[in-house]
Amino acid sequence: MNACTFTAGLSLKPQHYDEALGCSAPGLWWEVHPENYLADGGPRLAWLEAIRARHPVALHGVSLSLAADAPPDAAQLARLAALARRVEPAIVSEHLAWSAWRGQYQPDLLPFPRTQAALQRIADNIARTQDVLQRPIAIENPTHYLHIDGHDWPEAEFLAELVRRTGCALLLDVNNVYISANNLGFDAQAYLDAFPLHAVAEIHLAGHHADPVHGDALLIDSHDAPVAPAVWALYAQVIARTGPVPTLIERDDQLPAFSELLTEREQAHNALTSVQPEEAACS
């Protein structure tokens, strides 16, 4: 993968499919949840392949449940590998979270205590996934809503250790950092200072909103609004240090017109093409 051939991407939504197919913005790429394309056949795969014929595609999984105290589901992993062979994604990513547990899937990205045992389990799960996919994956920092007792590791160090043990890359979601810092009362800047930026293969930017009951004390990672100015500011600081890194504008709900998303995406594209990297991230 050459990180310089694509700049800012967008979440691919069926509502915008025709416009997405016709769009030729320079550096554009598309990200999808592979779960929506793990069909045996049919139009979904055909849509994705048509998009893939024109632009790079990234697969952003939400359900491998790598932080569950169990190996990822072998059948689902095999199907993901088959999809990856079919569309040859530029990046495959997943979350530092769990969602499937004892045969039941909870459609969310759930937290856990970052213990020594959890570290070993998740490293094993990432390694298994990478073995099946025969490529490194990128692991995303989660959004936090809860104070959990029993962490042995700060999150940034935990992620750095996963990189060291498995050779995985990281997906830095700047909006998640901003929300988590707000909700748990830590300093987003300090978190980013500790973050292993050398391993970041992709960045996510998204919108959030305040909880209807608790207000700004509890921000929700809703992906239903434009990226907040404070998140753009953190992002500028990150890419000033990393140089250009493929960046996704994530929008999953309250979809605006396609042109509006393109304008927001343009902002990230411009930031990426004008940044002066301190490190040669694209070499």
Partner 1 sequence: MQLSTFQDGFSAALLGPAVDAPWLSTLESQPGFAVYRNTVLKGCIDALQANYPTVCQLVGDDWFRAAAAVFARAQPPHDGLLVDYGAGFADFLAGFAPAAELPYLSAVARLDRCWTECHLAADATAVDRHWLAQQTPDTLPQASLRPHPAARWAWCDEHPAYVLWQSHREGRAPTEPLDWTGDGALLTRPHAEVVWHPLSRAGMAFLDACAEGHTLEAAATSALDADPTADFAALISTLLDAGALIPTDSRPG
Q: To which residue do tokens 């988590």 refer?
A: 180
Among residue numbers 88 through 147, which ones bind partner 1 (CB under 8 A)?
98-108, 110, 112-113, 115, 117-118, 121, 144-147
Site string for partner 1, 222-261 (x = CB under 8 A): ----------------------------------------
Reduced 3-state DSSP string for 175-217: HHHHHHHHHHCCCHHHHHHHCCHHHEEEEEEECCEEECCCEEE
Interface residue with partner 1 among 44, 54, 128, 209 (CB under 8 A) is: 44
- How far CA 245 is from CA of 22, 109, 119, 134, 220, in Å, comes to 24, 24, 26, 22, 25
Interface residue with partner 1 among 1, 23, 25, 73 (CB under 8 A) is: 73
Contact 171, 138 (CB under 8 A): yes
Q: Which stretch binds partner 1 (CB under 8 A): 17-25, 30-38, 239-247, 275-283?
A: 30-38
- Using rule CB under 8 A, residue 176 touches partner 1: no
Q: To which residue do tokens 């990180």 refer?
A: 3
Q: Identify which of 150, 212, 202, 145 has the alpha carbon closest to the alpha carbon of residue 176.
A: 145
Q: Contacts with partner 1: how many residues (CB under 8 A)?
A: 53
Catalog residues that contact partner 1 under the rule CB under 8 A: 35-36, 38-44, 46, 61-65, 67-70, 73, 76, 98-108, 110, 112-113, 115, 117-118, 121, 144-150, 183, 211, 213-214, 217-218, 220
